[in-house]
Structure 1
Amino acid sequence: MTPNRIQLIQGDITKITADAIVNAANSSLLGGGGVDGAIHRAGGPAILEECQRIRARQGGCPTGEAVITTGGNLPAKHVIHTVGPVWNGGHQGEPDLLARCYHNSLALARAHGLKTVAFPNISTGVYGYPKDQAAQVAVHTVLGFLGSMNCRSR
């Protein structure tokens, strides 16, 4: 794969072969609906067990932060769980919180030496973030992160 390349893929994130997939988790880290539930179901109990250990250690995951677990039965080696913001009209820091989700997930991937990461549309399901606005935040943040990595490697 070409370094620092972004691909847009429509499909089932639980079928993606990557170093990590990102889970649009809730703060409890115990699974739920949508992407979160699908990842927990497909990945099996190992993911939930690691999430429970993280909860015991730090009490969940705040909005904008990220944690990493095994991929369990998924084709991805790891799952990076991040908690996106609930959309409240865009005037309560939602864009910044969403950008932190992408940035912190990528920083965690880099810290673990992971090269390929697949993201879902964070916060665009039941959290109600408008998809077009969320996509702008995602692309801007990922490109900025990759750009900062390129500057450091020179």
Structure 2
Amino acid sequence: MTPRIVEGDLLEQRVDAIVNAWNRNIIPWWLLLPQGVSGAIKKRGGVGPFRELARVGPMPLGSAVVTSAGRLPYRGIIHVTGIDMLWRSSERAIRDSVANALARAREHGFRSVAFPVIGSGSGGFDEARALEVMVSALEASDADIDVTVVRYRRR
């Protein structure tokens, strides 16, 4: 698979599902300051997806869970745990997050998915390197899914 890389806003992509780079789900969502992709989802989509996510409990690093999209126009949100307990990301966490997000997308019948650059926000991972790791993981996948990776840029 060859992903399409664009600059813009993840929440403006016309896809079946978006990926939210999340934490390990150990700190309750309502205690976290809204920031990045999660903050945008909460602001525009409501808190419903995060209430669903809270019922999952702690998530292993690199795992992925699907919730509804709240008020957003998607079939679902795939939440990946791309950062560890110290709020840092790694190549392995990024690769595992991509692989598990694609697995959840297949399970739910999503034909198109938009990813942010995992680990490059709160995770502190270099954006260019994170993008390289993601593209490598996506290209190694045999998933028949249309993938867009969105490099966030304010307009």
Which TM-score band (shorter chain)?
0.7 to 0.9
Q: Given that residues 81 and 93 in structure 2 are in contact (C-alpha distance below 8 angstroms), is that contact kept between their aligned partners in structure 1? A: no
RMSD: 2.2
In the alignment, the residues of structure 1 paired with residue 24 and residue 83 of structure 2 have an alpha-carbon distance, to the nearest angstrom, of 10
What is the TM-score with the length of structure 2 in the denominator? Answer: 0.79
Aligned equivalent of 1:15: 12
How many residues are paired up? 137
More strand per residue = 2
Aligned equivalent of 2:105: 109
1:121 corresponds to 2:132:
no
- Distance change >3 Å, CA 98–CA 14, structure 1 → 2: same
- Which segment drifts farther, 21-30 or 4-13? 4-13
Could you tell me which runs of 5 or more consecutive residues in structure 2 were left unpaired when the two chains were aligned. 145-155
Larger Rg: 1
More helix per residue = 1
**Paired amino acid for 1:49:** R
In the alignment, the residues of structure 2 paired with residue 145 and residue 131 of structure 1 have an alpha-carbon distance, to the nearest angstrom, of 21
**Paired amino acid for 1:69:** T
Q: Which structure ranks higher in relative contact order (CA pairs < 8 Å, sequence separation ≥ 6)?
A: 2
Query: How far did residue 5 of structure 1 move?
Result: 5.1
What is the percent sequence identity of the aligned residues? Answer: 34
Aligned equivalent of 2:65: 67
**Paired residue secondary structure (2:101):** helix
Query: How far did residue 78 of structure 1 move?
Result: 0.6
Q: Given that residues 83 and 119 in structure 2 are in contact (C-alpha distance below 8 angstroms), is that contact kept between their aligned partners in structure 1? A: yes
Could you tell me which runs of 5 or more consecutive residues in structure 1 were left unpaired when the two chains were aligned. none
